[in-house]
Amino acid sequence: MMAEAQLCGLQDEFTCSVCLDTLTDPVSIPCGHNFCLKCLSNCWDQSQECSCPQCRHTFTTRPGLKRNNLLNEVIKKLKKMTLSPSFPPTPPPQNYAGPGDVECDFCTGKKFRAVKSCLTCPASYCQTHLQPHYEGDALKHHKLVDPDRNLKEKLCEKHQKSLEIFCKTDDSCICLICVVTGHKNHEMVELETEREEKQKQLGATLSDIKRGLEEREKTLKETRRVMEEMKVSGIERQHLISKRGEI
């Protein structure tokens, strides 16, 4: 039973993160991740750059892809075991992306709905493709946010890095590369700190506006009351004058 439990825990290690099935003709790339030969070849053939579909590491030259014979033999032996004949992964329940949903950038074919977007990668992930961000040491420090279809707006136009710093001197959001290349000796704070400060200022401004509106409403009501009293007083005077005329 212990051996079976250990093998169950290894299923994800032999699953292709592109097709989400057991590796077929497994190939290993320099960053250490494994994929089906066909899946990885298709990904790179359709892209202008060669990057790892799992950790997004980019290679300057396309690595040669050769089947990992040792890994292939291990998978064959595991498939023969009665533990799991087809050895399928068991991804958590998730929904296909519908109108208004953010799609997973790594699903092939019909895409699942993204549950998180990563500002560091930057990309959006369904529950299955998000797992490496929780399990891998290289990705667990990435900044995850709620699904966002406008990730490009949160990237530095010059360096294509996430905007993490606010430059008070230039009143602009910048990336970490901008900090050392064009904003030396400027007054800077973390973007989150500036956002919290702006929210406080906005809250104070809204409170002032609300108080001002309440004061204006109070003044308007008082003006209407006085005008109504003057109107009644004028009617009463006219009525009194009329009576005196009759006498």
**Average per-residue pLDDT in the chain?**
80
**What value does the mean pLDDT take over residues 182-201?**
87
Checking if the pLDDT of 242 tops 80, the result is no
DSSP 125: E
Alpha carbons 213 and 30: distance in angstroms, whole number = 64
E strand intervals along the chain = 26-28, 34-36, 50-51, 58-59, 116-118, 123-125, 144-145, 165-167, 172-174, 188-190
pLDDT band at 119 (very low <50, low <70, confident <90, very high): confident
For residues 166 and 153, which has the higher predicted lDDT (pLDDT)?
166
| pLDDT of 147 strictly over 60 | yes
Type and span of the H or E element at 225: helix 191-246
pLDDT band at 245 (very low <50, low <70, confident <90, very high): low
User: What pLDDT was estimated at residue 5?
Assistant: 43
Q: Which two tokens stand for residue 133?
A: 């961000």
Residue 76 C-alpha from the chain's centroid: 38
The pLDDT value given to residue 237 = 73
DSSP letter assigned to residue 151: G
Which pair of structure tokens corresponds to residue 217?
């409403």
Q: Determine the number of helices (DSSP H) and then strands (DSSP E) in the chain.
A: 6, 10
Q: Does the bond joining 26 to the residue before it have cis omega, within 30 degrees of 0?
A: no
CB atoms within 10 A of CB 103: 18
Q: Name every residue whose Cβ is closer than 8 Å to that of residue 72 and which is 6 or more positions away in sequence.
A: 23, 25, 26
| Cα distance between the two ends of the chain | 118
* Confidence class for position 6, pLDDT limits 50, 70, 90: very low
Q: Six-digit token pair at 34? A: 């494994």
Please state the pTM of the whole predicted model.
0.39
For residue 94, give the H/E element and its range. Answer: none
- Nearest C-alpha neighbor of 17 from the set 94, 105, 83, 101: 105
Band the pLDDT of 81: cuts 50, 70, 90.
low
What CATH code would you report for 1-90? 3.30.40.10
Question: Contact, 46 vs 64, CB < 8 A?
Answer: no
Q: How high is the pLDDT of residue 63?
A: 84
Residue extents of the structural domains in the chain: 1-90
The percentage of residues in the chain with a pLDDT greater than 90, rounded to a whole number, is 9
